[in-house]
Amino acid sequence: MYHNILVPISFDAERDTSGPLKLARILATPDAQVTLLHVVEHIPNYAISYMPSEYLTEARKAIQTELDELASQLPNAKGLVIEGHSGRTILDWAEANKPDLIIIASHRPGMQDLLLGSTASHVVRHAGCAVHVVR
């Protein structure tokens, strides 16, 4: 059983959050802290100039609302939105907050993953704690 669990959440259409949340519920101790983390990728400056000024603020609020809804399904869970490169930022957060388990969803790997790597494989290779990958 785990006391501090990190569950990175992606809202991509092909990602199902129910598996990681169910596993967190099963593997958590009764007093475990569960953090649902969503990383917002940096938008290049040239692209930001074409977006309405309130777009990032509103998008961040919407993501936080969805995370809070997911977190309400688990005891002692909270949602957190941070900005950065997904794989590196997840690992940086884990290094600073010392979870004893990361539960991360992954899609079925394709040729592009062999060439570029995926967030889940990056986290598995470099995390300093146990990582459980859910497909």
Beta carbons within 10 angstroms of residue 31's beta carbon:
8
* Tens digits of residue pLDDT in 14-72: 778 899 999 999 999 999 999 999 999 888 888 888 888 898 889 999 999 999 999 99
Domains annotated on the chain, with CATH: 34-134 (3.40.50.620)
Identify the pLDDT of residue 116: 41
Query: Can you tell me the mean pLDDT for 115-121?
Result: 70
- Residues whose CB falls within 8 Å of the CB of residue 18, separated by 6 or more in sequence, listed in order: none
Of 89, 83, 125, 120, nearest to 103 by C-alpha is 120
- Residue 16 is given by DSSP the state -
| pTM of the predicted model as reported, rounded to 2 decimal places | 0.90
